[in-house]
């Protein structure tokens, strides 16, 4: 019968029973390496941006620097102008650099969002006041025992407003994508600047 044949013939035995512990361990390691490498390659697979991510970061940084580089503090009346300048600069650059040479139109559609969030630290805490010469001192947070300013939730804060943003899309994952960036230069000005760029292949 099959049972007796299995017992008599080593070729019909399970693989693990035909190998010594060392060989069995080597096979397990090989299986792990193959699986790990395949999984890692799959995890790294994603949409290729129209422009290299390093270049996108430089474009976004230049756009923010051009818009608010000389600004000393957050001014709500000017935020629309700042956002418009940032978006215009980013779109102009990515459209120009992603359009193939000699092509009449770009290969992608783009959408850009710029969000400016004011810190809870008042202008006076930045040692800068409107209409007066800006102080050369860095922003200072007091360590005294005085009560800290409270926000709308009644809790003390050191100068940040909570913000959470999520984005969803239905598109071709191989050709379309999105990228976000936070401009570090807004820290000393009492604000955060966050940019998001979306591209969709035509």
- Per-residue three-class SS string for 65-100: HHHHCCCCCCCHHHHHHHHHHHHHHHHHHHHHHHCC
Closest alpha carbon to 96 in 105, 84, 87: 105
Q: At what angle do helices 53-68 and 79-98 cross, to 10 degrees?
A: 150
Q: In what order do the strands lie in the sheet with 108-118?
A: 108-118, 191-201, 177-183
In this prediction, residue 35 carries a pLDDT of 52
What element of type H or E holds 117? strand 108-118
- Per-residue three-class SS string for 161-182: CCCCCCCCCCCCCCCCEEEEEE
For 4, other C-beta atoms within 10 Å of its C-beta total: 8
Category of 18 on φ-ψ map: left (φ > 0), alpha (ψ -120 to 50) or beta: alpha
CA 92/CA 96 separation, integer angstroms: 6
Q: What residues does each domain of the chain span?
A: 2-44, 53-201
CATH number of 53-201: 3.30.1140.40
Residue-by-residue pLDDT tens, the chain, 202 positions: 544 444 554 444 555 555 555 555 565 555 555 555 444 444 445 678 999 999 999 999 999 999 999 999 999 999 999 999 999 999 999 999 999 988 888 899 999 999 999 987 655 555 665 544 444 444 444 444 445 455 444 555 556 667 777 888 889 988 999 999 999 999 889 999 999 999 999 9
H helix intervals, 2-153: 2-8, 15-18, 21-44, 53-68, 79-98
The gap between the terminal CA atoms of the chain, to the nearest Å, is: 66
Three-state SS at 25: helix
């Amino acid at each position: 019968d099959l049972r007796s044949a299995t017992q008599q013939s080593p070729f019909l035995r399970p693989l693990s029973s035909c190998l010594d512990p060392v060989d069995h361990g080597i096979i397990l390691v090989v299986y792990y390496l193959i699986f790990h490498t395949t999984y890692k390659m799959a995890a790294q697979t994603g949409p290729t941006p129209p422009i290299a991510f390093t270049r996108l970061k430089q474009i976004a940084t230049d756009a923010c620097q051009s818009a608010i580089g000389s600004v000393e503090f957050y001014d709500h009346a000017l935020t629309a102008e700042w956002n418009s300048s940032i978006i215009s600069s980013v779109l102009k650059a990515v459209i120009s650099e992603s359009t193939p040479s000699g092509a009449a139109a770009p290969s992608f559609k783009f959408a850009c969002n710029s969000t400016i969030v004011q810190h809870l630290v008042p202008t006076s805490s930045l040692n800068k006041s409107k209409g007066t010469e800006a102080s050369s001192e860095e922003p200072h947070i007091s360590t005294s025992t005085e009560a800290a300013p409270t926000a709308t939730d009644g809790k003390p804060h050191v100068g940040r407003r909570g913000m959470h943003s999520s984005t969803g899309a239905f598109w071709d994952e191989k050709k379309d994508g999105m990228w976000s960036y936070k401009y570090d230069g807004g820290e000393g000005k009492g604000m955060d600047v966050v940019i998001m760029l979306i591209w969709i292949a035509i």
